[in-house]
Amino acid sequence: MADKVKDKELGKVLRGIEKQLKSIHGVLSGLETRIETLEGTMGHNIQRENPLIYSKVLMGTLHAIEEFEIKNGRGVVAKDLAAIRNVEAPTIYDHLTKLEDSNLIFWQRGAELGLKPHNAKFYSVSDRKEKLSDLPILMALPDSVVPVAQTIVRASNKGITRSNLQDIVFSLKEQGEKGWKNKTAKQLEEGLDDTLRLLMQRVLISRKRTPEDDKYFARE
């Protein structure tokens, strides 16, 4: 008789434990769903609920842009950045808008850089660690690019027109400079285009369009 009573009491205890475990499992499932929701909407929701976390998320995106530039020598498009950050397109566009509004990043069209997609925006960080006026940066450029880059640097904040740069490359041909000698007039034009695109991809120069002629400036 005593054994039956003990078994009955033990059964009650076990059923109570089972009920508590189910309750705990329900709470954990709820938390898991909540975490997945936050991760899946790592933009507006986190911004509302915890601005500090959101700012860290933005800085993570900024760092990803900078790392991409260092590795690839050009800016990054939103699609590739979303894949790197493992977020959906609306979220990455929200990050880019916030960073651009804060003047932490800027973009250039693919058409300006000679990159595809031509209409895409290639994002770069505003705080540049590389400057064309830095000798190690300048001398690390291809031999044919260096004299053109030096000319742009010497022009300082006045800039230099494309027409003037065309005169420079024709002069480089006459001097027998490496990368320019023995080239036709068409090849000189194409070589100048390639040089300017490379410098713009590296965000070492900027271009200002005017009705008369394009002007190029070394970025500071």
Query: What percentage of the chain carries pLDDT values higher than 90?
Result: 63
Question: Is 135-218 in the same CATH topology as 44-125?
Answer: yes
What does the alpha-carbon distance between residue 193 and residue 217 come to, in Å, rounded to a whole number?
A: 15
Model pLDDT, residue 128: 84
Any idea which fold 135-218 has?
Arc Repressor Mutant, subunit A (1.10.10)
Model pLDDT, residue 170: 95
Contact yes or no for 144/198 (Cβ under 8 A): no
Domain range list for the chain: 44-125, 135-218
Architecture of the structural domain at 44-125: Orthogonal Bundle (1.10)
How large is the average pLDDT for residues 127-146?
A: 90
Tens-place pLDDT, residues 116-125: 999 999 999 9
Tens-place pLDDT, residues 69-97: 999 999 999 999 999 999 999 999 999 99
Place of tokens 């997945």: 36
Instruction: Give how far Cα 45 sits from Cα of 8, 96, 133, Å.
Output: 50, 16, 43
Instruction: Give how far Cα 129 sits from Cα of 26, 141, 204, Å.
Output: 51, 16, 10
